[in-house]
Amino acid sequence: MNFVTTSFVIFLLPVLCIGWGIRRHYRAYTLFLLAANILFYALAGIGNLPFLFFIALINWWCVRAMDRKGRRKRLALVSVAVAAHVLILAFFKYYEAAALEIVELVGPGMRWLINPHLASLVLPLGLSFYSFQGLSYTIDHYREDGLAPRSYAEVLCFLSFFPTVMSGPIMRENNFFPQLRTSFAGEEDFPEGVMLILSGLFKKVVMATYLQNHLVDAVYAAPDEYSSAAALMAVYAYSVQIYCDFSGYTNIAMGVAQLMGFHIPKNFNDPYRSLSLQEFWHRWHISLSTWLRDYLYIPLGGSRKGNRYVNLMITMIIGGIWHGSSLGFLVWGTLHGMGLVVVHAWHRLTAKWQVNSRLLRGLGNLMSWIVTIHVVAILWVYFRAETLADAHAVLGRVLAWEQDGAGFPLAVLIATLWGVALSFFGMRLYRMAVRGMSVLPWPVQGLLAGALVALIMNFGPDGILPFIYTRF
């Protein structure tokens, strides 16, 4: 179910009203929230439910089985959980592509691998996100022997939490369960939650959808029909589109959760103001980057054991292929890994350098920002393009710098600049809006929120496109 639909509003209002009424009764509220989660996920595609139940079952069983067991048996059980999740994700994300590659390399004798029934299966919605969330639950219990196992209903409620089940943020047990038992929506949660939802709607409906419909899709479909300036503008525009789309989803998820009394982790922190790729990954998709750090990079050795640069490369390559089987994702993750290696090496080399001039520091920061934002924008081309050939066609059109072909609307440039500006002033605008909303009486807050939602939706197109990250 798309957040930007009337059906979601119809679903959400009774969930909030009933939830507020029974919030202080832990068992009743847990069962009610679980029922709401399952209904939400079923409405998005009832055929996806068995996979959600199965992932919850794996993690619930492994944690129950490892309770009070020795270290070796606990390691065996967590290994079973990791292997099961990897196999499930690998099957849905890579089976078809791998089968086609094998047939092409070996010959028609392997055509039996292309089973039409298996090939027809699509990636269950949110599988990548709730699988990682489930793994964090199991691995945390393996690492901390004193954690009490949860009931199956609690584990399923944790994995299926409807604001985050489709596209995150990826939550941890120690963030969710204490709030499930003790948190209640307070007076400050309403204006903050509403403004988060409004900011998310604006980013998705107005910004991301406009850029996608008025330049990005067209250029990536046929780059040779556009001038080099338009192709370059599309590269910048997609950088803003994916930020507004994904951070818009996150804002809505955070806002809905806050209206319910939950404060979920921040997933974006003004990523386009970063001065290095290292800083960018501290600010972009924070729940995934910290998950990869805590459950992959550090177990590999991090910066203390082995080769830190090899560990970085492995982490970023896996982060790339986590998105799918396209070679573009592999290239995107690999190049980000190489960039991080360069940044880490540079920081170690220049750690003792001191620049006392404020002017020189300012110029250095400006150059670092320009380089970082352009590297990120160029690498997004590999993320967005359907194939490597398409990515190279877009980049080739930019490098050719020819004026022949279609241009781009001035509004696209304005929207792109505004999207970058949100990385510098968005949080300040949000806080100002929350303060303004907070001083109003409750009925006025509700009417104003409804009017602003209607206004934002009026600026959007007739059909709202799905969020980009729901396909991962």
Q: How many CB atoms lie within 10 A of CB 446?
A: 13
Rounded Cα gap, residues 136 and 139, in angstroms: 5
Please return the burial class of 202, using the count of CB atoms within 10 Å of its CB with bins 0-12, 13-18 and 19+: buried
Q: Name the residue with tokens 């089968």.
A: 99
Confirm if 124 and 93 have CB atoms less than 8 A apart: no
What's the Cα-to-Cα distance from 332 to each of 219, 376, 381, 396, rounded to whole Å? Answer: 20, 10, 8, 17
DSSP class per residue in 352-395: T-----HHHHHHHHHHHHHHHHHHHHHHHHHHHSSSHHHHHHHH
The residue annotated as part of the active site, out of 85, 141, 323, 336, is 323
What's the Cα-to-Cα distance from 112 to each of 88, 94, 226, 325, rounded to whole Å? Answer: 21, 16, 43, 20
Q: How many H-runs (helices) and E-runs (strands) does the chain carry? A: 21, 0
Q: Does the N-terminal peptide bond of residue 169 adopt cis geometry, omega within 30 degrees of 0?
A: yes
Kind and range of the H or E element at 348?
helix 327-349
Q: How many CB atoms lie within 10 A of CB 254?
A: 25
Q: How far is CA 104 from the centre of its chain?
A: 34
DSSP class per residue in 154-193: HHHHHHT-TTTTTT-PPP-HHHHHHHHHH----TTHHHHH
User: Quick one: which of 110, 190, 73 has its CA closest to 439?
Assistant: 190
**What stretches of 23-126 show up as alpha helix (H) in DSSP?**
26-45, 49-66, 71-106, 116-119
323 in catalytic set: yes
Report the catalytic residues.
323
